[in-house]
Amino acid sequence: MRGVWAAFAAVAILGAGGPAMAAQPKPAPQAAPKPAPFTFQEVMIPMRDGVKLQTVIMAPANATGPLPILLRRTPYGVPDSAYTEVPETLKQLAADGYIFVIQNLRGRFKSEGTFSLSEDSTVTPGQGTIETRDAYDTIDWLVANVPNNNGRVGIYGVSYDGYTAGATLLGPHPALKAVSEQASPVDQWMNDDDHRYGALRLSYDFEYAVYEEADKNANTHFAFDKWDTYEWYLGVGPLSNLNDQHLRGAIRYWNEATEHPDYDAFWKSQAWAQTLHRSTVPNLNVAGFWDQEDPWGPWQIFRHAGESDPDHTDLMVAGPWYHGGWRGAVEMLGAARLGQDTSLAFRRDIEAPFFAYWLHDKGAKPDYAARMFQTGSNVWKAYAAWPPAEAKATSLYFHGDGSLSFEPPSAAETGKRAYVSDPANPVPYRQRPISPTYPGGDWRTWESADQRFVDHRPDVLTYVSAPLDRDVEVAGPVAAELFAASSGTDSDFVVKLIDVSPENAAKPEWIADFGPAPGQFARTANGYELPIAMEVRRGRYLESYEHPKALTPNKPVRWDVPLRDRDHVFKAGHRIMVQVQSTWFPLIDRNPQTFVPSIYAAKAKDFQAATQTVYSTPDLASRIILPVVAAGS
């Protein structure tokens, strides 16, 4: 701009008859600088073992009285200066007045000590995890040393920060009065980030291990040489090649994950929520129904703390969100408009009042056990108990002609359908090209993506209902019971429950997330196949998670596939669809379909095509089990 202004000034002088006659431009008035909303202090807080943790303290600059402390503990880095404006996602909390404290976990950035993804969540009997103890010591220091605090502390966070909040429940400091764990993982083998019932979440596990453990002072993106990671991971071949060709043993967590394929003591010792059996501090659990990373943990914490909750302080909230979406702005789900910014509604009407009550003595105590944004109807609902008592388990059956109905299969039907699963040509988990998990922005919303991209594949079975003649309201745990066989000695089955919008349901509109731009296509609800629930089960673990066992070729067995808690209305005129497949790549590592002691040590020759058969007969009745709420309940 400096050169542009100089040229403009020269023209003005010459046109006015020379320097003596030139009109001098007046400087633009300068706005008075805004006062900073926070003070800033960085300290190193000592833990009981002498390790010091880098901590940032931001207090409201205009505070007139003692305020509570709101703590967040993270491995991702703390701010290096005070917020110059209140962040949008904190405005509702900041309006009530808090001293915000953010701390790096031990071994991350300037914090001393050693960081380990596995040791961090390992439970010491009677003492919780490292994060239980470090949070206790941090709170002890804060209430004694931070000026103008009122002696009450809350802790919150999403994802890893959610785990550090949730772990405080195992041994809370007396000053800790409110917790909100949000999308906390609790058992990395059973579910959440790294596995789904023992099936390795390949791309996420590999990329996140590099992200966190490659550099103490950075969050590291793996350097792919192809944008389509489907092609890249397929080109790697057997999973052991990732270490041989790329990591070379340098990432501890990846080494540990591949050295412990089964549910052994290594993994069980990290299942920290298993030691939680009562509500110790008021806790607002938060989950996204479309969370692509940690959708399972908050429900487990809610259920374990609820084993003893006489004061009704163990609360559950869930909504139409991807991972951490409630900290942003979510007004759409797939192609459907939700009618409001559901994330803002959460922060304004649920989160802020929760902390205000327990830390400020403002407002009323929450009178619900669960608050859900019910999709389909697109309304907020409050429940006195979860799951609601009026929800009744109802079977939706597969039929041999590819239909779904609430009527069981008859003996006269064709009772099975089959496809060939080839690990050399796996089904992609989202539309290609599949960008890297980090920093690719499209990873966030893949769980709500239109599933029509696999409709043409011969290795995906589709079952679909007739258009519904009434609304079907589902509230509670959903599950699939599949009767299936494989010609191989190991196999995976993936089950997707899908809500199919009718054609001509909406006029075309531009993609709201990215705005209208040249070359973009319209996204509409016409025929949109919205996933409601998706999950995988691995055959070797059907009988035991600890001791894998080969399948008997071509013998039909029952595959129980939990599909987690849902609150959704399949609207009249919509259809319910189920897709069944045996690969989901590279989200889930390829099952060789030949039983080997460890898939992580499988050789190229072990990967074989297999014929997969799904049954729907009176005695082998594959079905989806829906917790249906009767109309008028």
- Please report the pLDDT score of residue 525 as a whole number: 86
Instruction: Give the fold, CATH level 3, of 38-187+270-383.
Output: Rossmann fold (3.40.50)
pLDDT at 421 over 80: yes
Which amino acid is residue 248, in one-letter code? R
Report residue 569's pLDDT band, with 50, 70 and 90 as the boundaries. Answer: very high
For the chain, counts of helices (H) and of strands (E): 12, 26
Separation of first and last alpha carbons in the chain: 66
Residue 311 CA to chain centroid, in angstroms? 29
- Please report the pLDDT score of residue 1 as a whole number: 42
Give phi and psi for 566, each to the nearest 5: -140, 155
Task: Please state the rounded mean pLDDT for residues 504-510.
Answer: 58
Q: What would the DSSP string read from start to end of 471-503?
A: -EEEEEEEEEEEEEEESSSS-EEEEEEEEEPPT
Query: How many Å apart are CA 368 and CA 285, to the nearest integer?
Result: 13
Q: What count of other Cβ atoms lies within 10 Å of the Cβ of residue 361? A: 9
Tokens of 240: 């052991």
Q: Residue 121 burial by CB count (10 A; 0-12/13-18/19+): exposed, middle or buried?
A: buried
Give phi and psi for 420, each to the nearest 5: -105, 125
Report residue 631's pLDDT band, with 50, 70 and 90 as the boundaries. Answer: confident
- Please report the pLDDT score of residue 26 as a whole number: 61
Query: How many Å apart are CA 298 and CA 310, to the nearest integer?
Result: 20
- Please report the pLDDT score of residue 506 as a whole number: 61
Report residue 435's pLDDT band, with 50, 70 and 90 as the boundaries. Answer: very high
Task: Please state the rounded mean pLDDT for residues 392-413.
Answer: 96
Nearest to 176 by CA among 156, 160, 162: 156
- Collapsing DSSP states into helix, strand and coil, what is residue 103? strand
**Largest Cα span, the chain:** 105
Report residue 414's pLDDT band, with 50, 70 and 90 as the boundaries. Answer: confident
Tokens of 616: 């729907």
The CATH H-level superfamily of 393-629 is Galactose-binding domain-like (2.60.120.260)
pLDDT at 20 over 80: no
Nearest to 255 by CA among 118, 431, 52, 377: 118
Task: Please state the rounded mean pLDDT for residues 518-539.
Answer: 82
Task: Please state the rounded mean pLDDT for residues 583-600.
Answer: 98
Report residue 168's pLDDT band, with 50, 70 and 90 as the boundaries. Answer: very high
- Please report the pLDDT score of residue 511 as a whole number: 44
| CA neighbours closer than 13 Å in the CB half-sphere of residue 64 | 1
- Please report the pLDDT score of residue 36 as a whole number: 82
pLDDT at 6 over 60: no
Task: Give the position of tokens 């011969």.
Answer: 458
Domain spans in the chain, listed from the N-terminal domain onward: 38-187+270-383, 393-629
- Please report the pLDDT score of residue 19 as a whole number: 30
Taking CA 225 as the corner, what is the angle to CA 220 and CA 228, rounded to the nearest 5 degrees?
A: 100
133 to each of 51, 63, 105, 437, how far by Cα in Å?
A: 12, 30, 12, 32
Q: Average pLDDT of the chain? A: 92
- Please report the pLDDT score of residue 15 as a whole number: 28
Query: How many Å apart are CA 328 and CA 343, to the nearest integer?
Result: 6
pLDDT at 4 over 80: no
Query: How many Å apart are CA 19 and CA 24, to the nearest integer?
Result: 10
pLDDT digits (tens, 9 = 90+) for 64-112: 899 999 999 999 999 999 999 999 999 999 999 999 999 999 999 999 9
For residues 462, 465, 468 and 473, what is the CA-based torsion angle, rounded to 10 degrees? -70
Task: Give the position of tokens 């320097």.
Answer: 19
Query: How many Å apart are CA 561 and CA 422, to the nearest integer?
Result: 22
Residue 112 CA to chain centroid, in angstroms? 29
- Collapsing DSSP states into helix, strand and coil, what is residue 38? strand
pLDDT digits (tens, 9 = 90+) for 392-401: 999 999 999 9
Report residue 505's pLDDT band, with 50, 70 and 90 as the boundaries. Answer: low
pLDDT at 14 over 70: no
Nearest to 125 by CA among 184, 160, 170: 170
Taking CA 142 as the corner, what is the angle to CA 140 and CA 147, rounded to the nearest 5 degrees?
A: 135
Q: What would the DSSP string read from start to end of 244-262?
A: IIIITT--HHHHHHHH--S
- Please report the pLDDT score of residue 21 as a whole number: 32
| Whether the domain at 38-187+270-383 and the domain at 393-629 fall into the same CATH topology | no
pLDDT at 332 over 70: yes
- Please report the pLDDT score of residue 441 as a whole number: 76
Taking CA 245 as the corner, what is the angle to CA 244 and CA 250, rounded to the nearest 5 degrees?
A: 65
Q: What would the DSSP string read from start to end of 345-383?
A: HHIIIIIHHHHIIIII--S-----SEEEEEBTTTEEEEE
